[in-house]
Structure 1
Amino acid sequence: MSRPSSFSLRGRKALVAIKDERDATIVRRQFERLGLEGVAWTPAEPVDFAPDLSLIDDEFLPLLQPAQRAFLTRSPVIALLGTETPSRLKLVFELDPASFLIKPLRSAGIYAALVMAFERNERTSELKQQIFKLEQRLRSRRVVLAAVLQVMHSHALAEPASFALIRRTAMEQRKTIEELSAEITARGMLPRATG
């Protein structure tokens, strides 16, 4: 299943927390043109749906409730900046925004901020998956090394021969090297070892 394009916004739903009515009107008008549904929100209110995106006005910061901050980590956030002071920017960074817009808002730039937010969110998600897979491989390498050492000692083999034996046994048993290595380290011996 392919992921939706970051450039296609039609049918997506956004949580919109904007204090200034003029800015809110500009966002609503642009969202209508782009086919994006915007749901007005005040951070004190509960949310009963999973938004695809959140626009948060920096005047609502800091978000004091941990549940609010946790909720916003599930989708990309676009920060609306009215003040560029270090203290305000620090509050914005706590949201880990995927993009930002400067107030007062204009219709120009909203589409670009939306696309950048969706694309950054997708790339960040892919990077997190890659890191997770690499961490798993690193953990499994430790198990493989422990199994190789165990087979080396129990069968009086050199490291290459020990690894080859594990690989051959794993192929015969239709298991991954990592699965077989975990069994070896748990049992203390090579199951059904073939000479």
Structure 2
Amino acid sequence: MSKFRTTPQFDGQRAAILHRPHGVVDAILRQLTQLGVQSEVFWPDLPSALAVNTYDHLFYDADMGHDGQFPWAPGQAPMPAIALIGSEAPGRLAWAIGMGADAHLLKPIGSGGIFAALVIASQAFAKRAALASELRDLRERLAGRQLLAEATACLMMLDNSSAHAAYDRLRQEAMAHGETIDAAALRIVQQMGSGHVRSDRA
């Protein structure tokens, strides 16, 4: 089980609150101030993506919120996002989830709960970011393998050779040009498309 080695600290961080003026906002501001978090309230829209990226956390109204308030696509928040939920209508809950809530708080907000929400949201966001990075790496590796297979097939056709011989030629091409085998594969596939690759039997 994962455990915190030290108590999470949020002192000096910044939070954006996307919510109409309300007692809910006042309660959040009080707790954030006690935690040393600087806050700014926005409504009806967040600032541009460049400006909002200066914030470490986001609180957003799940009751009156809509996609157009955010300078990013649903589920792509660049910081931990905490949904402020008052309505349990299925559509509202589905929207809050679709926006990528890492944690949530039920309205009305009392005198506690913000610290726990920040901790949970930060951990969930870190895991989400790690999974997204891993997925990108896997896609890049898969694309690289597909490219190698395509280049090998091209050389097999060109030289009327076996897969082993074609792959060996691909490695020789990479060494001869001082490039990675992936770069060689891309070059060969592109050259095959333009008819500029010659058979090694020519």
TM-score of the two chains, using structure 1 as the length reference = 0.78
Please list, as runs of the form range in 1=range in 2, the aligned pairs for 1:17-36 lying within 5 A after superposition. Answer: 17-19=18-20, 21-36=22-37
Aligned-partner residue type, residue 99 of structure 1: A
Mapped to 2, the partners of 1:69 and 1:137 lie a distance apart of: 32
How many residues were matched structurally?
Answer: 185
Cα distance, 1:57 vs structure 2: 2.6
Q: Equivalent residue for 1:118?
A: 122
- Deviation by residue 1:90-145 (Cα, 9 ceiling, x = unmatched): 33234221110112223432112112222222222222222222222222322211
Indicate how the Cα distance of structure 1 residues 172 and 9 shifts in structure 2: closer, same or farther if over 3 A, else same: farther
* Counterpart among 89, 98, 101 of residue 93 in structure 2: 89
Distance 2:163 2:90 in 1: 56
2:51 to 32, 49, 52: 49
Task: Tell me, in whole angstroms, the C-alpha distance in 2 between the residues paired with 1:145 and 1:26.
Answer: 59
What letter matches 1:120 in structure 2?
A
Structure 1: state its 5+ residue gaps: none
C-alpha separation in 1, matches of 2:167 and 2:47: 56
Distance in 2, Cα, partners of 1:76 & 1:136:
26
The equivalent position to 1:135 in structure 2, one of 115, 127, 139, is 139
Report the equivalent of 2:3. none
Structure 1 Cα separation of the partners of residues 178 and 112 of structure 2? 58
Letter in 2 for 1:15: A
How far off is 1:39 after superposition?
Answer: 0.8
| Equivalence map 1:1-195=2 (5 Å) | 7-19=8-20, 21-44=22-45, 46=47, 49-50=51-52, 51-61=55-65, 63=66, 66=68, 68-71=69-72, 73-188=77-192, 189=197
For residue 11 of structure 1, what is the amino acid of its counterpart? G
Please say if residues 20 and 42 of structure 2, whose CA atoms lie closer than 8 Å, have aligned partners that are also in contact.
Answer: no
C-alpha deviation, 1:40, in angstroms: 1.8
Distance 1:174 1:116, change over 3 A: farther
Q: Which runs of 5+ in 2 are unaligned?
A: 1-5
Match of 1:144, SS? helix
Identity across matched positions, percent: 24
Structure of greater relative contact order (alpha carbons < 8 Å, 6+ residues apart): 1
TM-score (norm 2): 0.75
CA deviation vs aligned residue, 1:32-66 (integer Å, no higher than 9, x gap): 222211112222575683222221233433x26x2
